[in-house]
Every structure is written in structure tokens, then in C-alpha cells.
Structure 1
Amino acid sequence: MPSRNRHVIAVVVLVPVLAALALWAFAWPASRIAPRDLPLGVAGPAAAATQVERQLEGHEGAFEIHRYADEAAARDAIEDRSVYGAVVVTAQGPELLTASAAGPVVAQFLQQAVAHQAGAEGTQVKTVDVVSTPAGDPRGAVLNAATLPLALAGIAAGAVVTLLGLRGFRAVTALLGASALVGVIAAGIAHSWLGALGGDWWTEASVLGLSTLAVGGAVAGLAALIGPAGTGVGAALVMLIGNPFSGATSAPQMLPEPAGAIGQWLPPGAGTTLLRSVSYFDGAAATGPALTLAWWAVLGLGAVLLGGSLRARKAGGGPAAERRELSAVA
């Protein structure tokens, strides 16, 4: 009976604590969305561009200003994902270049900020969307919404592998197969059916699969090393930190520090950034997030193999058990 009472008390206390933690993780970043050193370009004649730059610097800490010689250079910087937008000073007045594909929320904020500044001076601002979202997903909602299902798919893959007792190479094979299938299905839905992605189909499927594998490998790897509790630790890391800190609905630079930076080192954030790059920007700035996902996948699968080997040795099988497992896979 005392043991049952402790279980009741644990549930009564633990559930509210988890609810509070989840509410903080999701609500805190969402309630503090604002630009923080958001990369923004300024182009045009030196004197006029300097004046615009000083006006933008009035938004203390909001923008990281990059100077460009002309509109063409500013457009190239946007397409290379060096900046989210640019203010170009022309003979007809200021022009705002945006990229809704990099984040509709960011593009909207830039329009409001620059239009407000120009309105105070009695001028009109022409806005040009340099890299727009596809017609099938004009608000970028599908890509934003895909972060959670991919995270759940990865968690499910890692948890199922653990629950089924798969170890070593069998577990790795299961994770690779499940992640590849998730990538194909997700690309089929988001690209082929909904028309929300505009890049190379197989590249997008690979990114979606790699994102799933990074999460699944992490969950299964932690479980292989520290036991069933590792599944909960991995799931909590992805759902309570990785997902809300991913910047999928806005941009990493729109989240409070250090949430945005942390999010890009976790699979949901890196996966979203990489998918934007390959879908809308011809792979620009894809190296960093691709390496992040690859490291998560490699370390996770490595932990799965290591955990299986350690358990085999602990059970007394030693190298013979490992050879039997390899022969069974073959």
C-alpha cells in the first residue's frame, strides 16, 4: 500500500511539472518573438545607404546590417541566405527586398518595420519578394507544420526499436529503413500532393529522412546506453527543447537568446533550416545544418551499436554473441 501511495503522489506531482515545463518551452519563445541581430542588407548610393543604415540602427539590437553596392548584389545575398532581406535606395524611393520562403513571419515583420519608418518620412516603399513560397503553400504553413510530425516519427522509430528489443545491426537497419520510408512518404505528401516544396524531390526526401533518422538514432541510442529511461530523455530533448526552439514558425534570430542558437544544434531546427535551403534556395547555406543532422544520426547509430555490444558482453556472450548477431543479419 505505501508503494501505491508513492506512485499516486509521483503522478500528481510529475504531471503538473511536465505540463509547466512544456508550457514554458513552447509559450516562452512564442511570446518573445522579435528580431535579434537579424541579418538585413542595405544597398544604394553611399550617402543615402548610410542614412538608411542609421535609421535601422535605431531599432537597437534588432538588425545586423550588411552593406551592398547595388540591388543585384543584395538579391544575390538574399538568394545565398546571407540576409533575410534588403533595403535598396533608388531614385524612385526606397525598395524592400524580402524572401518569404526564408520565413513569412520575418518578411512580414520587415515590411512593417520599413513601411513604418518610411511612413514617418512621408514616402512609399515598394516591396519585392525575391524568393517566394510556392503557390501551393503561400504562407509557408506546411513546412512549419512538418517539424512536429517528423520529430514524432523519429521518436516513434527509436521507441519501437527499443520496445521490440532490437539491438546492434538489426536496430540500425530498422532505423535506416523506417527513416528512408518516412522521407519518401513525407516528400510525396508535401511536394507531390500539397505542392508546398519546390526543390529536387529526391533531395527533399533525403533531408526529411535524415531529419527522422537523427531523432530516431538519438532516442534509440540513449535507450541502448542507459536503458528504457533513455527513450524518455531523448523524446523530452526533442519535444521540449528541439521543437519549440527550432525557429520553424519564424527564424532562429527571432527567438530569445540562446533559444535560437540551441535550436539549430538540435535535429528539428537543423532539419527545418536544411529543408528550406534545398526546397527554395537551391541548397544555399545547407552545409551547416546537413552536418548537424549527420552528426546526430552517426552518433545515435553509433550509440545503438555500442549499447548492443555492451549488453552482449554483460550477458556473457562476448564476441561470440556479436558474431551470431552479424550472421543473423547476413
Structure 2
Amino acid sequence: MSAAPNRRAVVIVLLVPLAVTLALWAFAWPAARIAPRDLPVGVAGSAAAAGQLQERFEQHEGAFEIHRYDDAAAARTAIENRVVYGAVVATGKGPQLLVASAAGPVVSQLLTQMVAGASPAGTAVPVTDVVAAPAADPRGSAFGASILPLAIAGVAAGAVVTSMKLRGARAAVTLAGTAALVGIATTAVTHSWLGAITGAWWTEAGVIGLTVLAIGSMVAGLATLIGPAGIGLGSLLIVLLGNSFSGVTSAPELLPEPVGLIGQWLPPGAGGSLLRSVAFFDGRGAGGAVAILAAWAALGLLAVLVAGRGRPERTDGAAAPASEPDPVPVG
């Protein structure tokens, strides 16, 4: 028996368990370590009463990032602007909790349980949902599940453009057109049919399209720079790391450090955060995510366009050589 098939069999036997282990690490480990880490929350009310509430939060070292506000109105504005996830307001009748389930149902539940557990036995803490999740998706399940298909769509677009040997402006237009259609189709499903997002329809379609464009351009750009291996690297970054580190189903501040931060710098995390802003918060807090997605899209398209200028296409679809060597005279 030839040694080559034996070596390939050994490689497969070793690589499959390694891939499974890596996938479990990327998906299961962050989910198993969900806990607040510098989670932005507000405390409002008179100095003395608010100080006591703040001390309760500070007992959980490193868990919360405290923002002080003068009254409930200021705390409510901070929640609506996505500065904090929730706030505890000290009133004459006891603490009152303000949350925003649209910003993350898991965070709202965590804050509710924590404040209720810190209150005297038998005391009911009033909870006001300042920005509520849609009635059709109160737990955010459909919203969280929508990010993985976008990641797959972007990777597929970049891979197909590369495999078809499209280059230059033709590749860029194909990526942009695909992203636009995915944005329209996805918004029709998640907004018009499922009711999982409730913002401005065309703005949501634009955000989804930008997310897919950033992913597709990233994959196509990597493939242009390093060859077919770029598709694998892009898939690894987007599907395995970007999706599992996005924090869309919980919150970036609930993931182990620096997983949450890494996820927000990759297109799936930035796209999920941006879609949440435009779907529920009228675009507030969207600036950073827009910049990240635009940067990924611009860098990827730039790589595709620059490579296309140096490698012209043939009419049969194959890339033609940049130049032909001069014939060598004989004799």
C-alpha cells in the first residue's frame, strides 16, 4: 500500500477532532462563562440613596461600570441612547429598576434578578422596560439567530466571486449587488414576516447589506492576497470566531475578556450591534459599528480592485497573464 494514502488518513484522523475541539472552544466556552464584566449600568437619585445602591453594585468587583444620574429622566435618556443597559433609581418608596429588553433580554433578566435579590425579603421592585423587545420576539431568539445566516451569506459571496475568477470592478459590483439583495430579502423575512426587528425598513435592509458586503469583501480580499487559503481563513474568522464572539444572543460585556471586544471588531458582532441600534433605538449608538463595517468593506474591495488592475480577465473567464515574455531568437 502506498504511503501517501496512509498519510492522508492520519491527517484526517487528527484534523477532525482538532476542528471539533476548536469549534467547541469558540461556541461553548463563551456561553458557559457568561457573566457581567464592566457592564454599563446607571444609578440615579439623591446622593445618599444612590450612593448605597452604587455600593451594592461595587461589591461585585469588575462586574459593573457605574454611571451616576440625577434622576429617573436622565437615566431613561441614557438607556435610550445605549449608554447603559439599565438603571436603578432610588425613590422615596424604594428602588425602581429601568431596563431595555431590546438591548439584550439576558441583561434585563440579570439586572432584574440581581436587584430583586438585593432587596429586603417580601419587597417587590417595580421594573419598567424603557425600550421593550418586540412582542413577536420577546426573548430575542429570532434576532440572535439571524446573524449566522448573514455570516454564511457573506462568506459564500466572497467564495463564489473568487471561484468564478471575477476581478476588479466586476467583482466589486457582484459583491455589492449580492449584499443589497441579501439585505432586502433578509429584512422581508425578519421585519415583515417574523416581526423580530421593528425599525425603519430600508435602513435595516441597508445595515444588513453593509454587514454582508463587509464579510464578502473581507473573504474575497483575503483570497486575492493569499490565494484560495484566504477563503478558509475568512471562514474561520467570520463563522467560527466572529459569530460565536459577537455577543448578539447575550451582550458583549457578558462574554469572557477579550472575547467580547474581539467580536465587536469583526463584521458579525459589529453588524449585530448596528442592526440592534437601528431596529430598536432609532440609530443611537451606531457610530462605532458603522465605522468598523465600512472599514472591512473598504479594505476588502480595495484588495479586489487593485488585484483586478494587475490581472486582467479573459473573455472565457480565466485570468490572463499580466504580460507575455518576448520570444527568444534562435541561431
Q: Contact 1:36–1:63 (CA<8 Å) still a contact in 2? A: yes
Secondary structure in structure 2 of the residue aligned to 1:87:
strand
| Correspondence for 1:317 | 322
Give the drift of 1:151: 0.2
Identity rate, percent:
62
Code of the residue aligned with 1:215 in structure 2: it is: I
Give the drift of 1:312: 4.3
Relative to the length of structure 2, the TM-score reads 0.93
The answer to whether structure 1 residue 228 and structure 2 residue 228 are counterparts is yes
Q: Contact 2:199–2:282 (CA<8 Å) still a contact in 1? A: yes
Code of the residue aligned with 1:83 in structure 2: it is: V
| Correspondence for 1:116 | 117
Q: Contact 1:44–1:71 (CA<8 Å) still a contact in 2? A: yes
Q: Contact 1:252–1:261 (CA<8 Å) still a contact in 2? A: yes
Secondary structure in structure 2 of the residue aligned to 1:128:
strand
Superposed CA offset, 1:23-62 (max 9, x none): 1000110010000010000001110000111111111111
The answer to whether structure 1 residue 106 and structure 2 residue 111 are counterparts is no
Task: After TM superposition, list the pairs within 5 Å mapping 1:1-330 onto structure 2.
Answer: 1-119=2-120, 123-312=123-312, 316-317=321-322
Q: Contact 2:167–2:312 (CA<8 Å) still a contact in 1? A: no
Distance 2:287 2:45 in 1: 31
Distance 1:272 1:173 in 2: 24
Give the drift of 1:162: 1.1
Superposed CA offset, 1:274-311 (max 9, x none): 00000000110100001100101111111112233344
Distance 1:203 1:85 in 2: 26
| Correspondence for 2:329 | none
Give the drift of 1:93: 1.3
Secondary structure in structure 2 of the residue aligned to 1:94:
strand
Q: Of the two, which has the highest radius of gyration?
A: 2
Code of the residue aligned with 2:52 in structure 1: it is: Q
Give the drift of 1:179: 0.4
Code of the residue aligned with 2:28 in structure 1: it is: A
Distance 1:138 1:213 in 2: 29
| Correspondence for 2:316 | none
Q: Contact 1:225–1:306 (CA<8 Å) still a contact in 2? A: no
Distance 2:275 2:115 in 1: 28
Superposed CA offset, 1:237-267 (max 9, x none): 1112111110011111000000000000000
Code of the residue aligned with 1:8 in structure 2: it is: A
Secondary structure in structure 2 of the residue aligned to 1:166:
coil
Task: Give the root-mean-square deviation of aligned CA atoms.
Answer: 1.4
Distance 1:102 1:131 in 2: 8
Superposed CA offset, 1:190-243 (max 9, x none): 011111111100000000001111111111111111111100000001112111
Query: Where do 5+ consecutive residues of structure 1 fail to align?
Result: 319-330
Secondary structure in structure 1 of the residue aligned to 2:84:
coil
Code of the residue aligned with 1:317 in structure 2: it is: A
Of Structure 1 and Structure 2, the greater helix share is in: 1
Distance 1:209 1:110 in 2: 33
Q: 1:172 to 1:281 in 2, by over 3 A?
A: same
Distance 1:281 1:315 in 2: 50
Q: How many residue pairs are counted as aligned between the two chains?
A: 317
Give the drift of 1:167: 1.3
Distance 2:208 2:276 in 1: 11
Distance 1:178 1:133 in 2: 30
Q: Contact 1:224–1:308 (CA<8 Å) still a contact in 2? A: no
Give the drift of 1:171: 1.0
- My pick for the range that moved more, 264-273 or 131-140, is 131-140
Give the drift of 1:70: 0.3
Query: Where do 5+ consecutive residues of structure 2 fail to align?
Result: 314-318, 324-331
Distance 2:159 2:322 in 1: 25
Q: Contact 2:96–2:126 (CA<8 Å) still a contact in 1? A: yes
Q: Contact 2:310–2:322 (CA<8 Å) still a contact in 1? A: no
Distance 1:27 1:96 in 2: 31
Distance 1:271 1:210 in 2: 8
Distance 1:308 1:230 in 2: 16
Give the drift of 1:16: 1.2
Distance 1:302 1:114 in 2: 50
Code of the residue aligned with 1:156 in structure 2: it is: A
